[in-house]
Amino acid sequence: MSISVELPRPEGRKRAGTRGVRKSVVIAEHDSSSLLEEHYEEVRELGAGAFGKVTLVRDLTFGQQRVCKVVSTKGMIKPVLDAMRKEIELLRKLDHPSIVRIYEFAEDPFVDQILLILEYIPGGDCADLIKKSHPVEECVVGRLMYQLLAALHYCHLRGVAHRDIKPLNMMVLYPPDGGDPDCKLIDFGLSERGRTEMRDYVGSPKYMAPEVHRRATYTAAADIWSSGVTALELFAGDVPFTGPYEQTIGRCKGFAKALEPSFKGKEQAAWATRSDGAKDFVRHLMQVDDKLRPTAGKALEHSWLQENRPEAQKFPKHIARSLAGYANAPSVVRCCLLSIAARVGSPKMQAIGHAFLGADSNGDGLISDQELEVALGNMDEYKWWCDPASHIDVSEVLRAGDFDHSSGLNFTEFVAACLFTAYGNAENFASVAFNALDSDRDGKVTVKEVESLFRERDKPFLDSLPQDRPFGLEEWKICVEEYDEETQELSSSSSEADTSIQPRQNILGFFSCMT
């Protein structure tokens, strides 16, 4: 991959002196598209275009459904190819419950092809929702817009402007047990990072901000205008801003002046039924002067959006128990869980995302120790004194889970901690961990392939693995068991020499004591 995108961190975050492990490093990169095709089976085609197709596939190792996007790069002009590479790099680094996840990808120069394995979001997009549910309920619009703006707030804090906000790029995900949908932002192909001012004429015309249409300099505030147009379309079923540049800008200014869009027919009727708060919210975002528009963070504070935001839920006690066990787990176990979180995920990702967003009170995409303390104080069940969930040291959870030294837990780190209780026995953990580390699915791994997925403190464990050749699952289990035995012996001898030293926990033995 020729383009590297380094996302800035929110102000006040300090990096430690060690390398750490970042989510972007854990996402598997391959140089052959056939390698991925061999390990997924096609379920059905989802779409096709001039440059490739999108297919629903099933992971043959883990069983999950994914989206496989295959793009032919033959004849593709360099700016378009560079934009696609930049999108992949952004998706590797962006880490938020309301942004689509990438699991692995390949750029194959021999067949002129780029292949992406992405999160499957089965509910369709918001354009489909408008067609099926017109008019969309006001509370549903509020929920979707809150999650969209939360995703944009996260992106804008990191210097990323999406530049193509519209209903087609808002995917809908319904809970397995029913209920209101969640929003996932997709398609970062036109996104820009690190530029406070832009002049590129990009986007979808009827959603583009006036300053973009004028070919003037613009900022991430253009995303806010596009969000307002998107909200308007969700409310009314369509938008009145179509046609040539002059006509579009004229209608935009007319809307700003009259405070009413020039709708006709059923769209006018749908808009007329909306509450004053909903209409004010749209006008709040769609201010022709970009300097008067709110930031995404400020837009989240609008009174109508606050009334219709996703209902705040108590922090799940089963997640708290997982955090308690995770904080005390050996470093090797935690590193393996991070790889599982990034490369495999969880069947309960949507529920974990809700818990993460509920705890991340300032919306910066990181759960701080203070935020975790507050969340744990609002659990969904009574806290018994004998329950591990009642005695969580939040500083220990942050110390254990903050792999990238951001002074907080990002979403993937939080997922890793939530996965701890999913592996109640050593055999299950050892197998899933090995398969997650085996990025090319050939049944073998090498130390060189996996060393970047572990912390510096795990070097003794890595040194215990075969150094000069690949090894398979069974040998991996043997190596882990032997490392456990050696660790236990060293811990015992250290404890005999100094009673103040706590015995080090071994890897598989740790799971034995948890069952």
| In contact, 475 and 483? CB cutoff 8 Å | no
CA distance 155 to 350: 20
Amino acid occupying residue 506: N
State the distance between the two ends of the chain, measured CA to CA, in whole angstroms. Answer: 43
What's the pLDDT score for residue 499?
Answer: 44
**Which string of b and e fits 169-190 if b means at least 16 CB within 10 Å?**
bbbbbeeeeeeebbbbbbbbbb
What's the pLDDT score for residue 15?
Answer: 46
CATH of domain 24-119: 3.30.200.20
**Beta strand pairing call for 192-193 and 170-173:** unpaired
CB atoms within 10 A of CB 251: 18
Q: Does 317-486+504-513 carry CATH code 1.10.10.10?
A: no
Q: Which helix (H) or strand (E) holds 513?
A: helix 507-514
Closest CA relative to residue 187, chosen from 112, 52, 84, 58: 84
Q: Which helix (H) or strand (E) holds 54?
A: strand 52-59
What is the Cα gyration radius of the chain?
25
In this structure, what DSSP letter does residue 419 have?
A: T
Q: 3-state DSSP call for residue 332?
A: helix
| In contact, 365 and 410? CB cutoff 8 Å | yes
Tokens for 221? 């505030």
Amino acid occupying residue 167: P
Going from N- to C-terminal start, the domains of the chain cover 24-119, 124-192+203-308, 317-486+504-513
Tokens for 155? 């992106």
CA distance 153 to 176: 27
| Beta-bridge partner residues of 58 | 41, 65
Q: 3-state DSSP call for residue 201?
A: coil
What's the pLDDT score for residue 12?
Answer: 46
One pLDDT digit (tens) per residue for the chain, 515 residues: 444 455 665 554 444 456 789 999 999 999 998 877 789 999 999 988 767 899 999 999 999 999 999 999 998 999 889 989 999 999 999 999 999 999 999 999 999 999 999 999 999 999 999 999 878 999 999 999 999 999 999 999 999 999 999 999 999 999 888 888 999 999 999 999 988 899 999 999 989 999 999 899 999 999 999 999 999 999 999 887 665 555 555 656 555 554 466 666 788 888 889 999 999 999 999 999 999 999 999 999 999 999 999 988 889 999 999 999 899 888 899 999 999 999 999 999 999 999 999 999 999 999 999 999 999 988 876 665 556 666 789 999 999 999 999 999 999 999 999 999 887 556 678 899 999 999 999 999 999 999 999 998 899 999 999 999 999 999 998 888 887 666 655 555 544 444 444 444 566 655 554 44
Packing angle of the helix pair 221-236, 276-285 (nearest 10 deg)? 150
**Torsions phi, psi for 485 (to 5 deg):** -60, -45
What's the pLDDT score for residue 258?
Answer: 47
CA distance 19 to 27: 17
Closest CA relative to residue 304, chosen from 273, 271, 287, 282: 282
CA distance 384 to 92: 40
| In contact, 424 and 325? CB cutoff 8 Å | no
What's the pLDDT score for residue 313?
Answer: 85
Residues annotated within a binding site for ATP: 69
In this structure, what DSSP letter does residue 108 have?
A: E
Residues annotated within a binding site: 69
CATH of domain 124-192+203-308: 1.10.510.10
CA distance 411 to 353: 8
Closest CA relative to residue 113, chosen from 186, 57, 52, 56: 52
